Amino acid sequence: MKKQILSPFDHAIMSLAQEFAKIPDYEQKMKDPDLKKLHTFVAVGIMSIHDAKSLVVGSFVPAANKVIANAKNQFNRSIFKQVLTSLNYDLEATRHETIRLGYVFAFHKFEVFIKQLMELMDELADIQLMPLNKFAKTRFNFEPTQWFRNQSVHVVNFISNCTKHQDGLCKLSNPAYALPAEFIGHSPDEKIARTVQQFKSDIDALIAAVVPLIKALNSVFLYRTFEQLSEPEKPIAGVPSMDEVWASVKNQQELLIKLTIGQYENNPV
C-alpha cells in the first residue's frame, strides 16, 4: 500500500498535537471545554488557510485559464486584431491578478485567525490580565502582528498589500519596513507575477509559520499567567511561597521564551 504523503496542514496539526501532548494529563485535561475549544479553534484556523490555497489553485486559477483561452480565441478571430496588438495588452495578466488576489485571500484568513486566537486566549484566562499582544510587546518586545518579523509571513503579507494598495506593483506601503529578500531588485514599476507553484510554496510556508508563532504566543501566555498570579500568600512552614518558586525559574523561562520567539522570527537567540 502506497504511503500517504503528509500535507503542510498535516505537519502543522501534528506539530501542535505534539506540543499539546507535553501537557501533563493531556487526555484528561482535553475534557475541559475551554482547552477543547482552543484546540478546535487552532485546527479550524489552520484548515481555513489550507482551504484558501486549495480554492485558489483548484478553482480560481483554472477559471482564469479558461477566460484567458477564450480571450485568445476571440482575439485571434477579431477583425480588430491589428489594433489590439498595437495596444500591447497582456492576456496573461488575468492569471497573474488572480494569483495575487489569492495572496490577499490566504493572508486575510491567516491574519484573522491569529488575532482571534489571541482574543480567545485572553478570554479563556481565569482572571483579568493585560491583553496578550500588549504583554508580549511590553515584556519581550514581541509584536505578533508585525508580520515582517517572519520572512514567510512577510512575503505573503507584502504581496497582499501590493495587490490591495499598489495595484500589484512591487512597492512598500510603509517605507519603514524592508522588502522581502526575494523582491530586492524587483522594479517598483512592474507588477508582481507569481506562478501557481510559487503561490502554493508561499502559502505552505505561511501555514508552517503558524506552529512557531503559536508556540511563542503560548509561552508568553503561560509566563503572563504565572507572573500575575504569583501574589504574596500566607506562608506555610517549610513550603516555598509561589513568589519564591516563580523567582527561581523566572530567568530560565524568560530565556526559553526569547528562544521560542527567535525561532519564529528566523532569528535564533
111 vs 252, more confident? 111
**Burial profile 156-190: b = 16 or more Cβ within 10 angstroms, e = fewer:** bbbbbbbbbeeebebbbeeeeeebbeebeeeeeee
Q: What is the pLDDT of residues 32-59, one digit of tens each?
A: 787 788 888 988 999 999 999 999 999 9
223/246 Cα distance (integer angstroms)? 10
Q: Which of 37-41, 72-76, 180-184 has the lowest mean pLDDT?
A: 72-76
Q: Where are the domains of the chain?
A: 27-264
pLDDT of residue 269: 44
148 pLDDT tier (thresholds 50, 70, 90)? very high
Q: What is the pLDDT of residues 222-232, one digit of tens each?
A: 888 877 765 55
Closest CA to 216 of 149, 124, 130, 126: 149
Beta bridge partners of 169: 191
The mean pLDDT value for 188-215 works out to 95
Number of H helices, E strands in the chain: 10, 0
Residue 238 has pLDDT above 60, yes or no: no
pLDDT of residue 29: 59
pLDDT of residue 43: 87
23 vs 31, more confident? 31
71/199 Cα distance (integer angstroms)? 24
Residue 137 has pLDDT above 90, yes or no: yes
Closest CA to 162 of 145, 139, 179, 137: 179
Residue 79 has pLDDT above 80, yes or no: no
Residue 175 has pLDDT above 60, yes or no: yes
pLDDT of residue 174: 78
Query: Measured between alpha carbons, how far is residue 168 from residues 55, 83, 96, 99, 194 in Å?
Result: 21, 26, 9, 11, 11
Assigned C-alpha cell, 38 = 482552543
176 vs 209, more confident? 209
Counting residues of the chain whose pLDDT is more than 70, the rounded percentage is 77
pLDDT of residue 150: 95
CB 142 within 8 A of CB 220: yes
Residue 16 has pLDDT above 60, yes or no: yes
The mean pLDDT value for 168-177 works out to 85
Residue 215 has pLDDT above 50, yes or no: yes
Phi, psi of 87 (to 5 degrees): -80, -10
200/50 Cα distance (integer angstroms)? 10
- Which residues lie below 8 Å from residue 260, measured CB to CB, with a gap of 6+? 212, 215, 216, 219
Residue 165 has pLDDT above 50, yes or no: yes
136 pLDDT tier (thresholds 50, 70, 90)? very high
